[in-house]
Chain A
Amino acid sequence: GAVVSQHPSWVICKSGTSVKIECRSLDFQATTMFWYRQFPKQSLMLMATSNEGSKATYEQGVEKDKFLINHASLTLSTLTVTSAHPEDSSFYICSARLRQTQYFGPGTRLLVL
């Protein structure tokens, strides 16, 4: 149990385009989901906390107009990288909270050309 999926697993896009990443809790409902970013061989950095039915809370330094988060249901949160640029290339990982534990998705690798 407690499985979190992400789609797509990897995406390549041209600079200036927008990319949407989905995070789903498959067998449980999650009122809170988190979005992290991880650069190669580095730690996970929290980008934002996503609460179902309300606006996401962004960490300092994360542009909310660039990284749009929508938590429309108890099993789905989406992250849209708008007008992506090469510096946005990274590994994006979501997690969903079940009771008192965070379960992580497998990650989405984004490459912006």
Chain B
Amino acid sequence: QQQVKQSPQSLIVQKGGISIINCAYENTAFDYFPWYQQFPGKGPALLIAIRPDVSEKKEGRFTISFNKSAKQFSLHIMDSQPGDSATYFCAASKNSGYALNFGKGTSLLVTP
């Protein structure tokens, strides 16, 4: 049972554009929502994370928007670059540092 649903499965964005990936969850006990970036053959790397007490968090070109009432959160990548081409996973857990429930991933391709 997929506890975190992620869309789209794949995404193509032109260089300089905005990449948007969405996730939804059902379990209201989740209180930690990280995003990970994974390159082929590598482990995931933490990009940015948010807790439900804030609606938005920004770190450089990466922004998480969080809607607690809708149980949805999204990742926005501003000024997307070819080097951002990777698979992005959203995740959720009942407490940060505990077992993560991952979305199915979004394969992002940023074209030159």
Contact = CB atoms under 8 A, between A and B. Distances in A.
Interface of A: 4, 6, 32, 34, 41-46, 49, 93, 95, 97-107, 109
**Interface residues of B, dominant DSSP:** loop
Mostly, the A contact residues are: strand
Interface residues of B, number: 23
B66 to A, nearest CB: 17
Q: Which of B43, B44, B45, B98 has most A Cβ within 10 Å?
A: B43
A49 B43 CA distance: 17
Interface of B: 32, 34, 36, 41-46, 49, 89, 95-105, 107
A93 B36 CA distance: 14
A41 B103 CA distance: 12
A62 to B, nearest CB: 12
Contact of B99 (A34, A101, A105, A107): A34
B44 A109 contact: no
Contacts of A98: 97
Given A32-B97, A100-B96, A102-B100, A42 B105 contact: yes
10 contacts: A41-B105, A43-B102, A43-B105, A44-B100, A93-B44, A100-B96, A101-B96, A101-B97, A102-B46, A104-B44
Contacts of A4: 43
